[in-house]
């Protein structure tokens, strides 16, 4: 049976769900948070140690300003109201990406990371203002600056995911089949599951089905 330590998720389809059901993209983002909570619970149940959620990409800045503001407000509210709960559950929060948001949000993110830094039941990596190509370029720049040898091991140690095992599973909801500049280096050997369901409709049963499927796959890593 394949060991499973790390699941990465591209939570696609919130806006489309919102338009379809509530005539508002923002309502979809709101409902999508409920799916996040369900999946966190199930991740703990499955004893998976790392969960990385693609929350906001570097390309998402191209969205309408109103929607971006709503998303960040949603994140602020979520952190303010849920951080104690996450901490009580022994969950660690880590931000990957570039923290250049409002003063209030940056402060909240730093506070959340600091408050939960000693927790070890589950680590949730929030990919915020994250772009994998930038991450890889920055890692190479760091290696050059330190005059370190450029090899796979050194590069991995200079990514924002250093000390985190690579994901064994990538799930993308929303019936879109692409990686969208997400963890390009780290996903080199991940099993990829593209789901037709939009993110707010994705539930524990769908998640468990993927985990079961993953565990039955013969993973060769280039061998026969």
Q: What are the catalytic residues?
A: 12, 60
C-alpha distance from residue 216 to each of 3, 141, 212 (Å):
11, 40, 7
Those residues whose C-beta lies under 8 Å from the C-beta of residue 98, and which sit 6 or more positions away, are 58, 129, 130, 134
Cα-Cα end-to-end distance for the chain? 17
- Say if CB 9 and CB 192 are below 8 A apart: no
Those residues whose C-beta lies under 8 Å from the C-beta of residue 172, and which sit 6 or more positions away, are 9, 10, 12, 178, 179, 192, 193, 194, 195
- Say if CB 48 and CB 8 are below 8 A apart: no
Angle at which helices 65-88 and 25-45 pack, to 10 degrees? 20
Quote the DSSP letter at residue 158: T
Query: What is d(CA 152, CA 165) in angstroms, rounded to the nearest whole number?
Result: 14
Name the nearest CA neighbour of 105 among 55, 148, 153, 154.
55
Those residues whose C-beta lies under 8 Å from the C-beta of residue 55, and which sit 6 or more positions away, are 11, 75, 126, 127, 128, 130
What values do phi and psi take at 103, rounded to 5? -55, -45
């Amino acid at each position: 049976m394949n060991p499973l330590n790390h699941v990465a998720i591209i939570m696609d389809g919130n806006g489309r769900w919102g338009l379809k059901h509530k005539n508002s993209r923002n309502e979809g983002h709101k409902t999508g948070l409920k799916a996040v909570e369900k999946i966190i619970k199930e991740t703990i149940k499955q004893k998976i140690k790392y969960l990385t959620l693609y929350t906001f990409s570097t390309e998402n800045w191209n969205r309408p300003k109103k929607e971006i503001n709503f998303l960040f407000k949603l994140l602020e509210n979520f952190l303010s109201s849920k951080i104690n709960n996450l901490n009580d559950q022994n969950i660690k929060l880590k931000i990957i990406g570039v923290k250049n948001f409002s003063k209030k949000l940056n402060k909240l993110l730093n506070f959340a990371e600091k408050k939960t830094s000693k927790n070890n039941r589950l680590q949730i990596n929030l990919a915020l203002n994250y772009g994998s190509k930038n991450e890889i370029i920055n890692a190479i720049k760091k290696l050059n600056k330190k005059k370190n040898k450029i090899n796979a091991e050194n590069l991995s140690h200079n990514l924002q995911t250093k000390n985190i095992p690579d994901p064994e599973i990538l799930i993308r909801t929303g019936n879109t089949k692409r990686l969208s500049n997400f963890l390009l280096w780290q996903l080199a050997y991940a099993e990829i599951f593209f789901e037709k369901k939009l993110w707010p409709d994705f539930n524990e049963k769908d998640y468990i089905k993927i985990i079961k499927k993953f565990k039955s796959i013969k993973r060769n890593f280039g061998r026969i």
